[in-house]
DNA sequence: GTTTAAATTTTCATTTCTGACAGTTTATTG
DNA sequence: CAATAAACTGTCAGAAATGAAAATTTAAAC
């Protein structure tokens, strides 16, 4: 018996704007006023819908984690049933969109921010672990004989390359770095063929839901 | 005929404190007041000796570049004449000091900050290129037959791993990540043995001064 | 149209950060 | 000790950022 709530939409708009700012300016470089401008709302509305600065950061992290889950699903869905290595490289190191870059930069900002916002530390730790795990699953299709530990190392390395590609994109158009990153990632993947320890050749599915 | 100048020492103290702050809080997370506290000097002295905020950041970048040169020399000097791969891995991925971590984190902060401080963009671009080049030189000792392009990819990748190790150290004690990073770096290096295209087997020196 | 609750605007107080500079102290030289 | 230049202190004004909450408006339900 009152006005319909737009809290969900507004919250989304606000955090979306927050993310855009953070990717460009970092967490501490982003003022509430800046977010207000970016979202086209008044600063007081940020407070009304989301809360104070701490709440905002917490909400940003929460939303980021949530979106990462969906992104992970999309990613897994985009993987073919074989030759996933190539698909993986294409996905992360070819024609990366601005959104993809933003995703990575925000993750870095959040990780860097755990000292200032200890509340998000646990989440980001989980997030990274899960990211690596998703890559492991994908890698497993092409390299079923490699050990979990080996795949994990490689996945960890690919995440690093991915991070660096987007970080360095600030220095030059990232096309140059993309190819370096891609080739290095390819090397890591290929290295799994060499060790190829004896293992269950279970090429089953990779559809076990992550996270 | 006047009081002796301590500008050099003070400047050093100030920028040292700045660096410590930046490694922990990022550039924008670091206020001049904070630096003053960290250095035990009054804020007005930061201004007196170095300048306003922009000058401070510029000076930080300058000093960072300068110190990187020296660090590069130390690094090269610490390299044996053979089996440099192992030495490289030990240097960057084993028992890394807090200073080493700080160096890396500050570099990341500076790179992330090029949007806000365009004046440092060129420097950081150079810095990264040189870092990669130094690693290339070292790698060349163990892999003289690999192509320049291949060594470059691998060096680029190792820098990425190094960056990520120290970034993620914020999430957990970095010992766990160190071993992941090291092993991934090892994979990259080993991958150079495979391609081994035909090349001049010049195992000469690596002592050409970098930078 | 009245009620009602949510959304939005406005405003105010407080704190923090920065820039600027006047004034003071300190150490050296002659 | 007088002169001098550098180092240092203290303070102020203005800007920017944040927190908080009192009005006001808006859209639905009745």
- Residues 6 or more apart whose CB falls under 8 angstroms from that of A128 comprise A111, A159, B168, B171
A28 strand C contact, CB < 7 Å: no
Angle, to 10 degrees, between the axis of helix B121-142 and the axis of helix B53-77?
10
Summarised one tens digit per residue, pLDDT across range B45-55 is 999 999 999 99
- Looking at residues A157-186, what average pLDDT do you find? 94
Instruction: Inform me whether the pLDDT recorded for B101 exceeds 60.
Output: yes
Residue in this structure with the two tokens 């967490």, named with its chain if needed: A27
**C-alpha span between B46 and A188 (Å, rounded):** 46
| Residue, of B162 and B202, whose pLDDT is higher | B162
pLDDT level of residue A196 (50, 70, 90 thresholds):
low
Share of chain B above pLDDT 70, in %: 91
Q: Is B10 in CB contact (< 8 Å) with chain A?
A: no
Mean pLDDT of chain A: 92
Alpha-carbon span A64 to A58, nearest angstrom: 10
Per-residue pLDDT tens digits for A43-86: 999 999 999 999 999 999 999 999 999 999 999 999 999 999 99
What number is the average pLDDT over the span B3-18?
Answer: 96
pLDDT score at A204: 43
- What is the per-residue pLDDT for A195? 56
For the segment A139-165, the average pLDDT, to the nearest whole number, is 97
The verdict on a CB contact (< 8 Å) between A156 and B181 is: yes
- Residue B152 has which token pair? 């470059």
pLDDT digits (tens, 9 = 90+) for B114-156: 999 999 999 999 999 999 999 999 999 999 999 999 999 999 9
Q: What is the pLDDT of residue A2?
A: 78
Question: Which residues, in sequence order, are CB contacts of A144 under 8 Å at separation 6+?
Answer: A199, A200, A201, A202, A203
Least confident of A90-99, A110-119, A201-210, B11-20: A201-210
Which one of B25, B163, B190 has the shortest CB-CB distance to A164? B163
Residues of chain B above pLDDT 90, percent: 88
Considering the entire predicted model, what is its pTM?
A: 0.91
Alpha helices in A26-97 (DSSP H): 32-39, 43-49, 53-78, 84-93
pLDDT in tens, A110-125: 999 999 999 999 999 9
Q: Which nucleotide is nearest to B6 (CA to C1')?
A: D7
Length A7 CA → C5 C1' (Å)? 13
Q: Is the pLDDT of residue B206 over 50?
A: no
Report d(CA A153, CA A163) in Å as an integer.
15
The band of A208, judged by pLDDT with boundaries at 50, 70 and 90, is: very low
- What pLDDT, on the 0 to 100 scale, is given for residue B209? 46
Residue corresponding to tokens 């700012």: A21
Interface test with B, best of A150, A157, A188, A195 (most B CBs within 10 A): A157
How confident is the model at residue B157, as a pLDDT? 98
- Report pLDDT for B194: 73
Whether the CB of A182 is less than 7 Å away from nucleic strand C comes out as: no
From CA B105, how far away is CA B56, in angstroms rounded? 18
């Amino acid at each position: 018996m009152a006005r319909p709530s737009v809290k969900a939409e507004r919250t989304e708009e606000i955090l979306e704007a927050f993310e855009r700012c953070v990717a460009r300016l970092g967490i501490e470089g982003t003022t509430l006023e800046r977010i207000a401008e970016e979202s086209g709302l008044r600063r007081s509305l940020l407070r009304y819908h989301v809360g104070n600065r701490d709440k905002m950061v917490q909400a940003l992290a929460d939303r980021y984690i949530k979106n990462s889950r969906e992104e992970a699903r999309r990613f897994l869905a985009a993987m073919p049933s074989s030759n996933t290595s190539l698909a993986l490289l294409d996905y992360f190191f070819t024609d990366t969109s601005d959104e993809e870059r933003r995703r990575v930069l925000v993750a870095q900002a959040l990780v860097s921010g755990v000292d200032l916002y200890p509340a998000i530390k646990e989440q980001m730790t989980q997030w990274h672990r899960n990211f690596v795990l998703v890559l492991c699953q994908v890698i497993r299709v092409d390299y079923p004989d490699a050990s979990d530990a080996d795949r994990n190392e490689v996945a960890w390395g690919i995440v690093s390359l991915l991070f660096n590609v987007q970080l360095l994109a600030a220095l030059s158009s990232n096309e140059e770095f993309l190819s370096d990153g891609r080739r290095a990632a390819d090397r890591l993947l290929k290295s799994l063929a060499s060790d190829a320890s004896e293992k269950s050749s279970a090429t089953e599915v990779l559809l076990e839901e992550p996270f």
